[in-house]
Chains A and B, each alone.
Chain A
């Protein structure tokens, strides 16, 4: 499977995502600069990495979401292409309107950087097919603005539609209903604050994240 990793000024998890994708798919991803206007031909998925795009100016992910390449990503997502946004990538996807809600400053105001336990809430999406509902997995988080917010009606709706993919097993950042990751209505766009790409082999202290990329590969096909 060919893949693309978007690179913004200030991205810092782009290479981690590329390493994870290459390890699982066997194909080196194409790194796509934010100023480009088109995705490479034939990619099976797009990854939007963590980091501090544009220095988090205005709001985390706000400027990146309006960059030229994101028009292509939004269009491709609308056609069903799997899109994964991790950490700052999740913020970018909400700012781009691909996912509901917003990521606000952590309730405790501190930057949180540690491993956290998550529960898998739903596997009916392009990424989570190798997990089981209710399973507990451990991914690292490293963020200042991970406090997921949406109004109560939106929260009820996405919960009802099975669009909460991952939930923190413990309070981490004040997120509404401890939501850690959500998918779009089509199940092809996943945004999450925790970093699956940092847990893909046992040398990372765990490999729970590897199955997310394996599940994606199974969805898209080699």
Chain B
């Protein structure tokens, strides 16, 4: 089974990288951009028997730092 795990900064956490991307888009002339947030996409191949609890535990223990990040799991 293929997993896609999206790790994103929590709302309210300052994202300097997103701000830099936003600024760069502005300097390229893209005026309509109102906000940019940068995150991570982690793709994994796991055994079909891997249950939700195990996936959640992977996210909690390593893949995301829940002090600053949220995560969302997509099964493909």
Q: Which residues of A contact B (CB under 8 A)?
A: 58-59, 62, 66, 94-95, 100-102, 104-109, 147, 149-150, 174
Give chain B's interface residue range (CB within 8 Å of chain A). Answer: 10 to 19
List 10 A-B residue pairs with CB atoms under 8 Å apart, sorted by A's residue number. Answer: A58-B63, A95-B65, A102-B67, A104-B14, A105-B16, A107-B14, A109-B16, A109-B17, A147-B14, A149-B14
How many A-B pairs have beta carbons closer than 8 Å: the answer is: 36
Nearest A-chain residue to B12, judged by Cβ:
A151
Q: Is the CB of B13 within 8 A of A104?
A: yes
Q: Is the CB of A59 within 8 A of B61?
A: no
Nearest B-chain residue to A61, judged by Cβ:
B65
CB distance from A66 to the nearest CB of B (A): 6
Nearest B-chain residue to A106, judged by Cβ:
B16
A104 to B65 alpha-carbon distance, docked (Å)? 11
CB distance from A176 to the nearest CB of B (A): 9
Q: Is the CB of A62 within 8 A of B16?
A: no
Contacts of B65 in A (CB 8 A): 59, 62, 95, 102
Contacts of B47 in A (CB 8 A): none
Residues of B31-61 whose CB lies within 8 A of A: 61
Instruction: Tell me whether B62 is interfacial, beta carbon within 8 Å.
Output: yes
Q: Which residues of B contact A (CB under 8 A)?
A: 13-14, 16-17, 20, 61-63, 65, 67-68
Pairs of residues from A and B, 5 with the lowest C-beta to C-beta distance, nearest first? A102-B67, A102-B68, A105-B16, A109-B16, A107-B16
Further pairs besides A106-B16, A149-B13, A149-B67: 9, Cβ < 8 Å: A58-B63, A62-B62, A66-B62, A94-B67, A104-B14, A105-B16, A107-B16, A108-B16, A174-B14
A150 to B16 alpha-carbon distance, docked (Å)? 16
Contacts of B61 in A (CB 8 A): 66
- The winner among B14, B20, B61 for most chain A CB atoms within 10 A is B14
CB distance from A174 to the nearest CB of B (A): 7
Q: Is the CB of B17 within 8 A of A149?
A: no
A95 to B67 alpha-carbon distance, docked (Å)? 9
Contacts of A149 in B (CB 8 A): 13-14, 67-68
Q: Is the CB of B67 within 8 A of A105?
A: no
Contacts of A102 in B (CB 8 A): 65, 67-68
CB distance from A182 to the nearest CB of B (A): 13
Q: Is the CB of B14 within 8 A of A109?
A: no
Q: Is the CB of B62 within 8 A of A105?
A: no
A94 to B63 alpha-carbon distance, docked (Å)? 15
A174 to B16 alpha-carbon distance, docked (Å)? 10
Q: Is the CB of B17 within 8 A of A150?
A: no
CB distance from A172 to the nearest CB of B (A): 14
A59 to B63 alpha-carbon distance, docked (Å)? 9
Nearest A-chain residue to B67, judged by Cβ:
A102
Contacts of B17 in A (CB 8 A): 105, 109
